[in-house]
Amino acid sequence: MELIELFSASVCPFAHRCRLALLEKQVPFEVVDIDLRNKPAWYRDINPDEAVPVLRQGDFVLRESLIINEYIDELAPEPALMPASPQERAMARLWIDFAGTRFVPLFYQLLKAQEEDERLAIQDRFLTVLGTIDTELKRRHQGKALYWFGEEVGLTDIAFYPWFERWPVLEHCRGFGLPGELTSLIGWIESMRKRDSVKKTGMPADFYIAEYEDYAGKGPTK
């Protein structure tokens, strides 16, 4: 197998997804760190959008974290990061889509919201989404702190987790903490924090807060 290069940035939760998947899959790879505030000119030749992550393996170049992670999972049969049955794989993809279309956008909407009324409206929607996640985890595991599809971590867990590691940013910038009654969700977060892959890729809360403060105050910059 040709060596994988992952163009990444520690601050980026999308790239974080891919680093987690590669470590869980035990696939050898090299990380190429990209300074998102001062992107090297040569990086445009690899990704004209200049975003991370990008996976390069020889002449093969792939973008988009969720697609990259499916590719990583298909490189070798074990350890599998998707459920064995077609039905459960379909459900895994459904929840991965939920992460991308319902959960992640609210994180950034709340972070960028400058008006109090707007923030409160987004928080209400966010609480509904968090409650949906907690209910699903509770239904699957009767309140036990396991992963989405059993006792082994998978792509569904990886699709969500990086934003929960960055939750201190929302607490610091928007005063929005995780409600204590979401016990299954909080238990799942604790299970993820114990993973070697999470320990190897994680950064302290102060790092994320410092990196996101300007973004929260001024909105996105290019």
Contact (CB, 8 A) for 191 and 151:
no
How far is residue 4's CA from residue 72's CA, in Å, rounded to a whole number?
A: 10
pTM above the 0.85 mark?
yes
pLDDT digit string (tens) for the chain, length 222 residues: 789 999 999 999 999 999 999 999 999 999 999 999 999 999 999 999 999 999 999 999 999 999 999 999 999 889 999 999 999 999 999 999 999 999 999 999 999 998 999 999 999 999 999 999 999 999 988 756 589 998 899 999 999 999 999 999 999 999 999 999 999 999 999 999 999 999 999 999 999 999 998 888 844 332
Contact (CB, 8 A) for 171 and 217:
no
Residue 208 token pair: 């994320």
Contact (CB, 8 A) for 173 and 212:
yes
Question: Residue 1 has what pLDDT?
Answer: 77
Query: Sign of dihedral through CA atoms 188, 16, 195, 206?
Result: negative
- Residue 50 has φ and ψ, to the nearest 5°, of 65, 15
Residue 203 token pair: 């950064």
Q: Considering only the C-alpha atoms of the chain, give the largest distance between any 2 of them, rounded to a whole number of Å.
A: 53
How far is residue 26's CA from residue 13's CA, in Å, rounded to a whole number?
A: 20
Question: Residue 220 has what pLDDT?
Answer: 37
